[in-house]
A and B are shown apart, each in its own frame.
Chain A
């Protein structure tokens, strides 16, 4: 029997005045409040790293839709993380062009170097490895997206080594 959720945080705890300075103008751009949900959730996610259930409920109230409307969106789209993120995330493409140009080898190499499987995070939270579908960069296959931002293409084991070294140096 589902228990009632822990103290539902008030709308204002998630949508603080500072947050609303950003999100209110976003909402205003659309004909309905609901239409702004992808951008609003993205803002919250980029601010906090991931989307919690409390944020989902607060967003529902902020946009005057039901919590289930928000939940459906968060679970449908792949870009919404619902768990804390690793510091460095490798999303390696596994669709056709990349697959034919060596993505499986790259993935296995990363598995070996990081000692995790796709879908996992290293215990220290430093790295996460995911396989994703086509990122629209087939001319640089095999490729991956790093930290949901830059595209790194024409990957080779050497390039991976160099990238990992750069990340280690930064930290």
Chain B
């Protein structure tokens, strides 16, 4: 591939032919401000914020459109450029309503951030501002404020080029231009939430997040979405400083994280809004149920009891492996139940039936780790739950270990209930209440995937690590810890302090993972995050302005996340 060499702010940089100056500038840390540019969308060139000096050209040029050429000399910080930026900002603020106190975007607003960095001028405006529609629900997920809009057209380009649903457009002209939907229609497609991510200002805001929390109280952690087998990279953003807000919920919202190969800059609405289960309807304590009476137990009480039941069942029990479990946990199940206890009734059961799939991100398989299970020789269809229920009916089974699946709902209470009723015991290990957890004899609260770490393998065979975001709620424990304790009580020594140790071991046994470890996974992961467009970096931290936030608490600081 041929390259070109150019000079930006006195530093030489070499880039592939065809690279735009704005991308080339990232390589030398020249922060060129921009609004309308987005590496995942077509070039609009309308905000004019990225104007820079190019030697031998009389007018300033927009860096987002200008192609880097051999010998080009670019200057991004000259007085002319700075003055121009100031004036462009001023233009953008002319009709912009000063809604900051009531606008969700405050704290992550590009107008605020660039104003503090490049503007800081007193307003010269002595006129009325143009009035447009405010607080318009565009659809189930997005709220529009036309006055705040700077008409960068990112959202319109998104619905044209990415979701390809074309709901949004810009009507009228001049300073009466407005983003809108066709009268009577709404913004309603499986990816609608992304327009909120890419809107640099508070024109498009998330209805789910509306007024929930100020973003400077949010912490963020990089992890994965578990909503389907795509394994989109996300940031889980949570608050734990204001428990009196948001009814004590911790997870506030999910944002996509750039990954060149898997989800680029996007995530689907189903994944984005499917986080409530981390904080709602949780099983908080181990419980024992007998003769209709439910008794809370401690782990020290219930685990030995469970081990005894498993041992005495002598293989006459079913194990319902879930594709929601991590590779590490599935490995422990394999070691304990398949190899050590020689159990043959092991079923891979998905907690959800297959759903909608499209040719973009959404997969029909709504589990993050079906492939990981397959690599460890757990497959669907090899044996079904129906086989187990039949065996139960014949009195051949004593117990069942269920990893969170709601068998009663999945298979119908009329089929599953009588079968499970015939069992002496059922051990439910899961994070959220469901019909089956209300039925099982022993209920062990497990952590959600946000409360532990491990790896999932997506449908393409990409293995990715997910990180711990939160502490387990109540007395919940990660499945791998529960399994390790059980194993120790069943005569199989498991001395794992952390999941990285489990992964190292399992990598020896799973051929596609041979030689891998967490560090190597992380390095590979970083390599697909090249050329991600950074969000406006936190100014608060550099310049110690106003809020003295620490790096972890300011969301824009922790991960250089694409906008």
> Which residues of A in the span 53-79 have a Cβ within 8 Å of any Cβ on B?
53, 56-57, 66-69, 71-72, 75-76
| Chain B residues near A57 (CB-CB < 8 A) | 182
One of B124-132, B164-172, B226-234, B441-449 contacting the partner: B164-172
B315 beta carbon closer than 8 Å to chain A: no
- Complex interface bits, B164-196 against A, C-beta within 8 A gives 1, otherwise 0: 001111111100000011111110000000000
Contact between chains at B186 and A2 (CB < 8 Å): yes
A34 CB to closest chain B CB (Å) equals 13
> Do B172 and A76 touch (CB < 8 A)?
yes
- The reply to whether A75 and B172 contact each other, CB–CB distance below 8 Å, is yes
Q: Which residues of A contact B172 (CB under 8 A)?
A: 75-76
Residues of A within 8 A of B182 (CB): 53, 56-57, 67-68, 71
What chain B residues lie within 8 Å of A67 (beta carbons)? Answer: 182, 185
Contacts of A4 in B (CB 8 A): 184-185
* Cβ 8 A contact of A69, one of B169, B183, B184: B169
B184 touches A71 (CB 8 A): no
B171 near A5 with CB under 8 A, answer: no
Chain A: which residue is nearest B183 at the CB level?
A53
Neighbouring B residues of A66 by C-beta, 8 Å: 166, 169
Residue of A nearest to B188 (CB): A2
Q: Which residue of B lies closest to A6 (CB)?
A: B184
Given contacts A1-B137, A69-B166, contact A76 B183 (CB under 8 A): no
What's the minimum C-beta distance from A61 to chain B, rounded to whole angstroms?
A: 12
B184 close to A5 (CB less than 8 A): yes
With both beta carbons as reference points, the residue of chain B lying nearest to A77 in the complex is identified as B173
The verdict on A3 contacting chain B, using a C-beta distance below 8 Å, is yes
In the complex, are the beta carbons of A71 and B171 less than 8 A apart? yes
Residue of A nearest to B170 (CB): A72
Q: How far is the CB of A158 from chain B (nearest CB, A)?
A: 37
A68 x B183 contact (CB < 8 A): no
Which of A4, A53, A66 has its CB near the most chain B CB atoms (within 10 A)? A66
Residue from B137, B169, B173, B186 within 8 A of A71 (CB atoms): B169
B137 & A68 in contact (Cβ 8 Å cutoff):
no
Contact mask for chain A residues 3-33; partner B; CB cutoff 8 A; 1 contact, 0 none:
1111000000000000000000000000000
Closest to B186 in A: A2
Taking a contact as CB atoms under 8 Å apart, the answer to whether B185 and A2 are in contact is yes
Q: Which of B167, B172, B184, B186 is the most central at the interface, judged by chain A CB atoms within 10 Å of its CB?
A: B184
A68 B181 Cβ-Cβ under 8 A: yes
B206 to chain A, nearest CB (A): 16
Find out whether the CB atom of B181 lies under 8 angstroms from the CB atom of A76: no
How far apart are the CA atoms of A68 and B179 in the complex, in Å? Answer: 11
Q: List residues of chain B with CB within 8 A of the CB of A2.
A: 137-138, 181, 183-186
CA distance A71 to B167 in the complex (A): 11
A contact residues around B138 at 8 Å (CB): 2
The distance in angstroms between the C-alpha atoms of A72 and B182, with both chains bound, is 9
Residues of A within 8 A of B173 (CB): 75-76
The chain A residue sitting closest to B159, CB to CB, is A68
Q: Which residues of B contact A69 (CB under 8 A)?
A: 166, 169
User: Roughly how many angstroms separate A2 CA and B142 CA in the complex, as a whole number?
Assistant: 12
CB of B273, distance to nearest CB on chain A (Å): 17
Give the CA-CA distance A72 to B185 in the complex, in Å.
14
Bound: A14/B199 CA distance, A: 37
Chain B residue nearest to A74 (CB atoms) is B171
Question: In angstroms, how far is the closest chain A Cβ from the Cβ of B290?
Answer: 49
A4 to B167 CA separation, bound complex (whole angstroms): 14
Alpha-carbon distance between A139 and B140 when the two chains are bound, in angstroms: 56
User: Are B184 and A3 within 8 A (Cβ)?
Assistant: yes
For the complex, give the distance between the alpha carbons of A2 and B185 in Å: 7
Q: What residues of chain B lie closer than 8 Å to A3, measured between beta carbons?
A: 184
CA distance A67 to B166 in the complex (A): 8
A68 touches B166 (CB 8 A): yes
Chain B residue at minimum C-beta to C-beta distance from A57: B182
Q: Beyond the given A5-B184, A71-B182, A75-B173, could you list 20 further A-B residue pairs with CB under 8 A, ordered by the A residue number?
A: A1-B137, A2-B181, A2-B184, A2-B185, A3-B184, A5-B183, A53-B182, A53-B184, A56-B182, A66-B169, A67-B182, A67-B185, A68-B168, A68-B181, A68-B182, A69-B166, A71-B169, A72-B170, A75-B171, A76-B173
Q: Which positions in B face A, CB cutoff 8 Å?
A: 137-138, 166-173, 180-186
- Sample of 21 A–B contacts (CB below 8 Å): A1-B137, A1-B186, A2-B184, A3-B184, A4-B184, A5-B183, A5-B184, A5-B185, A53-B182, A53-B183, A57-B182, A66-B169, A67-B182, A68-B166, A68-B168, A68-B169, A69-B166, A71-B171, A75-B173, A76-B171, A76-B173
